[in-house]
Amino acid sequence: MRLKSAMIGTPWARCIPGANELFLAKLMKTLSIAILVSAALAALLGLGLSIQITRPLALLDGAARRIAAGELAVMVPVSGRDEVASLSASFNAMTEELKRLDEAKRRIIADSAHERRTRVTLIRGLLEGVIDGVHPLDMDMIKSVHDETLRLSRLIDMLHELELIDSGELKLSLDEVELIPALEKAASLFGPSAGEKGICIEVGRPDTDGARARVDVLRFDEVLYNLIGNAIKYSPKGGKVLCTARRAGPSVRVAIEDSGPGIPEPEREKVFERFYRMDKSRAQDSGGRGLGLSIGFEIVKAHGGSIGIEDSPLGGSSFVVTLPAIPTPA
Ligand code: ADP
């Protein structure tokens, strides 16, 4: 009853008229219990809340450590709609992306090894045929071996270029270039191969000037050669290829259109992936490796531009390269 005696005669007791000792003692007891119960409830609630917050964070921490150790198939549970749930969802999305990139990297390594092996096997087969007396050692044979060697060396060059791109070591030497003459030069180089298939290759002249951009001439030519080469390769005999360049607001738009089979909507992103060939047998017959467009995509990106595919009025596809334009000199 120390509490009771402490209360009696306090200013508090004096300011409640008619309060007697017993009533005050009961009030104090009830108040004390209420305070203790509230404190216990608050502590329990705090503990519950802290478990609710720290448990997902502990799970995230554990998952991050497993990923750092190379285990990429790790997911964390997402429950609720709070910030921690949103963090967990972002974490899962990041893991998915890491897994996808890892699978793509493995596929690229396997595909590039396969491509090199195929070319070397072809050259070896031709030479062994000569040694065994199965094939005569004539000019045709030497030309076949030479062609295969050129393809192998082109493949090695392309893989090297991709390595440069991946390691961020692709250096561009930019010059201001008029794009119509650049297209005319590229088209004239393909004149003979277009002629062999009876394909008419044309460079359109826009009504307005301004088709100028800052490009690395050698690398941009490489992009144009791949696009024009593909347009001829995939167009039927007697088809048509049209190359245009024109100013479109703050950009220039270079389009290579063809009368080939076109590229269906679902394939349009995939053809820019490494080693992707829409029709594998057809592309292999024509010596395709599925690398040209992926390199072109990266080169255009390094110029601050983009490359996409649209339907062409000629019946096939239209590969559209968009680059930042530079103003025409006054
Ligand atoms: P490839 O050396 O196989 O032609 P690319 O990267 O240049 O490699 O092209 C990838 C794939 O995109 C080709 O295998 C082909 O299926 C498709 N493709 C590219 N250009 C065209 C085109 N103009 N018309 C139809 N299909 C095309």
pLDDT tens per residue, range 38-58: 999 999 998 888 887 788 888
3 pLDDT exceeds 50?
Answer: no
Dist CA 155 CA 117 (whole Å)? 11
The answer to whether 95 and 67 have CB atoms below 8 angstroms apart is: yes
For residue 89, pLDDT beyond 60: yes
3-state secondary structure of 201: strand
Cβ–ligand 1 distance for 235 under 6 Å, the answer no
Instruction: Note the pLDDT tens digit of each residue in 208-254.
Output: 777 999 999 999 999 999 999 999 999 999 999 999 999 998 999 99
User: What confidence tier does 182 reach under pLDDT thresholds 50, 70, 90?
Assistant: very high
**Is ligand 1 within 6 A of the CB of residue 259?**
no
Q: From CA 156, how far away is CA 120, in angstroms rounded? A: 12
Q: Name the band, by pLDDT with cuts 50, 70 and 90, for residue 110.
A: confident
For residue 286, the SS3 value is coil
User: Which atom of ligand 1 lies nearest, measured to the CA of 279?
Assistant: 16
Q: Which amino acid residue places its CA nearest to atom 10 of ligand 1?
A: 290
**Hey, how many other C-beta atoms are within 10 angstroms of the C-beta on 254?**
27
Distance 290 CA to ligand 1 centre (A): 7
Whether 216 contacts 189, CB under 8 Å: no
- Kindly tell me if the per-residue pLDDT of 269 is higher than 90: yes
- For ligand 1, say whether the CB of 222 is within 6 Å of any of its atoms: no
> For the whole prediction, is pTM greater than 0.75?
no
- Given the structure tokens 């300011």, which residue do they identify? 15
Whether residue 322 contacts residue 306, with contact meaning beta carbons closer than 8 Å, is answered with: yes
Asked if the model's pLDDT at residue 117 lies above 70, the reply is: yes
Angle in degrees, 0-180, between the axes of helices 83-131 and 139-166, rounded to the nearest 10:
160
Sequence-ordered alpha helix ranges (H) in 134-279: 139-166, 179-189, 191-196, 217-234
Residue type, 186: A
**Ligand 1 atom closest to the CA of 272, numbered from 1:** 6
Concatenated DSSP letters of 128-162? HHHHTTSS--SHHHHHHHHHHHHHHHHHHHHHHHH
330: confidence class by pLDDT, cuts 50, 70, 90:
low
Q: What is the pLDDT of residue 280?
A: 58
256 membership: H or E segment, kind and range = strand 251-258
| Mean pLDDT to the nearest integer, 143-148 | 91
User: For residue 271, how far is its CA from the centre of ligand 1 (angstroms)?
Assistant: 7
Q: β-strand 200-203 against 240-248: which pairing, if any?
A: parallel
Ligand 1 atom at minimum distance from 258 CA: 23
CATH of the domain spanning 174-324: 3.30.565.10
Among 72, 79, 325, which residue's Cα sits nearest to residue 206?
A: 325
Using the atom order of ligand 1, give the atom closest to the CA of residue 294: 6
CATH no. of 104-167 = 1.10.287.130
Q: Provide the 10 A C-beta neighbour count for residue 97.
A: 10
Cα(181)–Cα(211) distance, integer angstroms:
10
Neighbours of 291 (CB within 10 A): 23
- The minimum-distance atom of ligand 1 relative to the CA of 261 is 25
Compute the distance between CA of residue 43 and CA of residue 57 in angstroms, rounded to an integer. 21
* Higher pLDDT among residues 281 and 175, named by residue: 175
The span from the CA of 53 to the CA of 8, in Å, is 47
The yes-or-no verdict on residue 2 having pLDDT over 70 is no
Cα 231 to middle of ligand 1, angstroms: 8
From CA 278, how far away is CA 10, in angstroms rounded? 93
In angstroms, rounded to a whole number, what is the distance separating the alpha carbons of residues 111 and 93? 27
Q: Is 314 in the pocket of ligand 1 (CB under 6 A)?
A: no
Nearest-Å Rg of the Cα atoms of the chain is: 36
Backbone angles phi, psi at 200, to 5 degrees: -90, 120
Residue nearest to atom 23 of ligand 1 (CA): 231
Residue 201 has what pLDDT?
97
Domain boundaries, the chain: 2-67, 104-167, 174-324
Query: Which range in 148-162, 204-218, 244-258 is most confidently predicted, on average pLDDT?
Result: 244-258
Per the model's pLDDT, the better-predicted residue between 208 and 79 turns out to be 79
Please state the φ and ψ torsions of residue 170, each to the nearest 5 degrees.
-75, 110
Residue 76 phi, psi dihedral angles, 5° rounding: -115, 150
* Residue whose CB lies within 8 A of the most ligand 1 atoms, among 154, 230, 320, for a mutation test: 230
Mean pLDDT for all residues in the chain: 87
Residue 176 pLDDT grade (very low, low, confident, very high; cuts 50, 70, 90): very high
Q: What is the pLDDT of residues 309-322, one digit of tens each?
A: 999 999 999 999 99
